[in-house]
Amino acid sequence: MIELVVILITIFLFGVVFFVALNYKRKNNNNNNNNNNNNNNNNNNNNNNNNNNNNNNNNNNNNNNNNNNNNNNKLDNRLIILEDNHHFYVDIGDNCLLLVSISDKTFEENMSRIDDIKNIVRQLIISLTRRLDIETKNYIVGNKVNYSNQRGDYSLDIYNCDPLMREKKDWGDSNYEYVSDINGWEQLENILTEDGRNYASGTYGLGGTLYVPRTSICIDDIICNGEQRSYLDESILTHEFSHTILELGIREAHPDWYEEFGRITDMYNDIANNKSNGYCPSRYSCDRRELFALASQAWFKLIVRTDINNYITTPEDMRDFSRGTLSLYSFMVRVYGEPSDLCYILPNECKSKCKNR
Ligand SMILES: [Zn+2]
């Protein structure tokens, strides 16, 4: 009887040892797989960096920093930033968070309205990005990179521009700032836009590009608070953020769509010239980037201008630009879903920007 008990206990102990050993082996295999994945990722990063030798030193430095980062670090950074009320995240779904940074001067000037400001920005960004696919979303927030950019948070920077867009010397003692006064945008000081404006003083915001993967926007576009101000007839945030969607999101996530939009622009130029001789390329809307931005503003009914965009002032207008398999209207539906009116998000002071007031 005792012998039987000893045998049973021995069998039980063997079973336990076998089970523990099996699990240990499984765990090791998993770790190895993870390590292999990490190595592959690192190799990819290295390849990307090698391809990127032509870029400037800033980009190289950023990429080097980036090799040391991993998702855990990113999460940690986010938790730290969330403690700071100059920064917040907009959750655009599919595990994509867009970082928004409010400049110190903007914060000081608008302390009492800061929650309003956050709400307006949050709602607008969520609505603009609602129907973007997961790939595009991942690229516009910086979760994924292909090519020259650092992985990490791609922010939307809100700054306190002069609503009259005067030069610094004419500001007196006001608390304004140029976009080039914001951390990361310094290189724009003394640079001119294609149409001859000074980037630093003469813009209300800038869209993200592969080289500066961030959007900037003047606070006045969000609250329309100044006594005299520019751009009361269009949402510049919608314009600039749609540049980011095309140049960072679609270009990276769907290069074939980006190329298709180039052909749509050529078709648009051709048809617009037929409607009015010599219309393109002299108009703003005849450039690929601007066509998409102006079409995006019209898609969400947040532009009343008709001077720079007179063939695409409503989504319905866009149906005229179709040839063979190319269609401006269908392209916009593919990116954004059906057109919608986002006027309800804007505060009363900004309703002059709405197509349907
Ligand atoms: Zn533009």
pLDDT band, very low/low/confident/very high, at 181 (cuts 50, 70, 90): confident
Enumerate residues 6+ apart whose C-beta is below 8 A from 106. 158, 159, 160, 219
- pLDDT value at 194 more than 60: yes
Ion ligand 1, residue ranges at CB < 5 A: 293
- Ligand 1 center to residue 13 CA distance, Å? 72
Lowest average pLDDT, out of 70-74, 146-150, 275-279, 301-305, goes to 70-74
Rounded average pLDDT over 286-292: 97
Asked if residues 241 and 280 have their Cβ atoms less than 8 Å apart, the reply is no
- pLDDT value at 269 more than 80: yes
Rounded average pLDDT over 325-347: 98
- Ligand 1 center to residue 203 CA distance, Å? 10
- pLDDT value at 10 more than 60: no
Express each pLDDT in 99-154 by its tens digit.
999 999 999 999 999 999 999 999 999 999 999 999 999 999 999 876 555 667 78
Asked if residues 302 and 235 have their Cβ atoms less than 8 Å apart, the reply is yes
- pLDDT value at 18 more than 50: no
Burial 182-210 (b: 16+ CB within 10 A, else e): beebeebeeeeeeeeebbbbbbbbbbbbb
Q: What is the average pLDDT score of the chain?
A: 80
Q: What is the pTM of this model?
A: 0.76
CA angle 318, 92, 183 (to 5 degrees): 95
Q: What per-residue confidence (pLDDT) applies to 192?
A: 81
Other CB atoms within 10 Å distance of the CB of residue 247: 23
- Ligand 1 center to residue 309 CA distance, Å? 12
CA angle 114, 82, 248 (to 5 degrees): 85
- pLDDT value at 207 more than 90: yes
- Ligand 1 center to residue 240 CA distance, Å? 6
Q: Dump the DSSP string for 288-351.
A: HHHHHHHHHHHHTT-B---SS-TT-SSTGGGGG-EETTEEHHHHHHHHH-S----GGGS-GGGG
Q: Dump the DSSP string for 148-205.
A: SSPPS---EEEE---TT---GGG-TT-----GGGSTT-GGGTTPBPTTS-BTTTS-SE
- pLDDT value at 75 more than 90: no
- Ligand 1 center to residue 197 CA distance, Å? 12
Rounded average pLDDT over 252-271: 97
Asked if residues 272 and 311 have their Cβ atoms less than 8 Å apart, the reply is yes
Q: What per-residue confidence (pLDDT) applies to 230?
A: 73
pLDDT band, very low/low/confident/very high, at 4 (cuts 50, 70, 90): low
Give the Cα separation of 223 and 116 in Å (integer). Answer: 9
- pLDDT value at 175 more than 80: yes
Q: What per-residue confidence (pLDDT) applies to 12?
A: 57
Question: Computed from CA positions of residues 59, 105, 241, 245, in that sequence, does the dihedral angle turn out positive or negative?
Answer: positive
